[in-house]
Amino acid sequence: MSKPRTVPRGTRNIVGAKVERIRKAKRMKQKELVAILQSKGMDICDTSMSRLEGQNRLVQDFEIPILAEALGVTVEWLLSPEEDA
Query: Does residue 51 lie within any of the structural domains?
Result: yes
The CATH number assigned to the domain holding 55 equals: 1.10.260.40
Report how many domains make up the chain: 1
Give the range of the structural domain holding residue 20, as residue numbers without chain letter: 16-79
> Measured between alpha carbons, how far is 70 from 23 in angstroms, rounded to an integer?
10
pLDDT in tens, 13-72: 999 999 999 999 999 999 999 999 999 999 999 999 999 999 999 999 999 999 999 999
Query: Which ranges constitute the DSSP H helices of the chain?
Result: 16-25, 30-39, 46-53, 63-71, 75-79
Residue 3 lies in a domain: no
Question: What's the pTM?
Answer: 0.86
